[in-house]
């Protein structure tokens, strides 16, 4: 099933944001640390021109740490780009981000010359959570579904920094279905635009190839089944996704598997790696097994 999802408000918001960037000093792009490339709006590079950009790899606690280190090196090779892994809910991490903004544009942030920062990100990367943590109170609406934020606002942090919030934006062209399926796996695509069974099979195939030990530990297996379909059925049986007569409810099993994957129940995983050989080498380090 091809995934197509581009809520109507996003096109208009993108036009307004391109215009607003002219008055901004620093751009913070909030990415999902598990899929930094797929969760980036690549039109931002065009829109930001020479504005400095901080790539925030949020949900760092859910991502494979070796792969995240590779992504940090990868991004910091780009002109005018810094990268910072963090968890948007942690105040200590938010303070690091504030310091990095101040370091990036040291000549602003004083009375009459606020440091103007725009926070940018596709849906469900944790942009609103980060804004609320930076502000120290609930300023942006947060939800576990994508496209919760639909209009922008300005927030004075009262420390010399003024934030501009933006709606979560996806690019309109999703012809690369591998990207679309990675986004769907992470939860960035609206449920109405995806088939849980197809996305669950995609995720199972990836996990069986990249993180087989995590799959074995979580679902108490000595060996993995041969196919993603068989894997989903095993997961369905383990999680009690049964219909009358003991038949596996594949849809429920796929949905339950995706919930576990998104919540970090299988451990810290990344859904993609940098393409640069030197960066990818770091991703081959041993992956820690973290299950509850």
Question: Over the stretch 70-82, which tens digit does the pLDDT of each residue have?
Answer: 999 999 999 999 9
pLDDT confidence band for 208 (50 / 70 / 90) = very high
- Same structural domain, 222 and 81: no
pLDDT tier at 232, thresholds 50, 70, 90: very high
Taking a C-beta distance cutoff of 8 angstroms, is the pair 254, 197 a contact? yes
Give yes or no: residues 20 and 115 share one domain.
yes
Quick one: tokens of 44? 């931002």
Asked if 23 and 142 sit in the same domain, the reply is yes
Range of the domain at 44: 9-165
Residue 95 lies inside a defined structural domain of this protein: yes
Q: Give the list of residues 6+ apart from residue 162 with CB closer than 8 angstroms, or none.
A: 114, 115, 116, 117, 154, 155, 156
Judgement on whether residues 133 and 34 belong to the same structural domain of the protein:
yes
147 or 274: which leads in pLDDT = 274
Strand-pair category, 153-156 with 161-165: antiparallel
The answer to whether residues 104 and 213 belong to one domain is no
Q: Are residues 29 and 150 in the same domain?
A: yes
Give residue-wise pLDDT tens across range 180-203: 899 999 998 877 778 999 999 999
Assign residue 153 the CATH number of its domain: 3.40.50.300
- Does any domain span residue 241? yes
Which pair of tokens denotes residue 280? 């990818």
Least confident of 27-36, 107-116, 145-154, 165-174: 145-154
Indicate if 227 and 158 belong to the same structural domain: no
Residue recorded with tokens 């581009």: 6
**Digit-coded pLDDT (tens) for 246-255:** 899 999 999 9
Q: Give pLDDT, residue 280.
A: 42
Number of structural domains, the chain? 2
């Amino acid at each position: 099933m091809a995934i197509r999802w581009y809520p109507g408000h996003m096109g208009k918001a993108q036009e307004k944001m391109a215009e607003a960037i002219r008055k901004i000093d620093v751009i913070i792009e909030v990415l999902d640390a598990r899929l930094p490339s797929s969760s980036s709006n690549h039109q931002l590079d065009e829109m930001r021109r020479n504005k400095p950009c901080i790539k925030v790899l949020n949900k760092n606690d859910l991502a494979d740490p070796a792969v995240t280190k590779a992504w940090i090196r990868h991004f910091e090779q780009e002109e005018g780009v810094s990268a910072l892994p963090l968890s948007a809910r942690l105040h200590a991490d938010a303070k690091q981000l504030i310091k990095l903004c101040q370091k990036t544009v040291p000549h602003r942030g004083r009375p009459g010359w606020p440091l103007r920062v725009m926070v940018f990100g596709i849906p469900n990367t944790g942009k609103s959570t980060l804004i609320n943590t930076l502000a120290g109170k609930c300023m942006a609406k947060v939800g576990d579904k994508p496209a919760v934020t639909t209009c922008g606002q300005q927030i004075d942090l009262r420390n010399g920094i003024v934030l501009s919030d933006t709606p979560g934006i996806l690019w309109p062209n999703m012809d690369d279905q591998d990207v679309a399926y990675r986004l769907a796996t992470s939860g960035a695509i609206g449920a109405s635009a995806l088939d849980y069974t197809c996305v669950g099979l995609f995720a199972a195939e990836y996990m069986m190839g990249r993180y087989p030990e995590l799959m074995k530990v979580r679902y108490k297996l000595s060996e993995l089944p041969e196919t993603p379909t068989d894997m989903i059925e095993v997961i369905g049986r383990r999680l009690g996704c049964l219909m009358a007569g003991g038949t596996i409810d594949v849809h429920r099993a796929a949905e339950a598997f995706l919930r576990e994957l998104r919540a970090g129940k299988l451990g810290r995983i990344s859904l993609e790696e940098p393409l640069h050989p030197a960066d990818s080498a770091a991703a081959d380090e041993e992956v820690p097994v973290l299950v509850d």
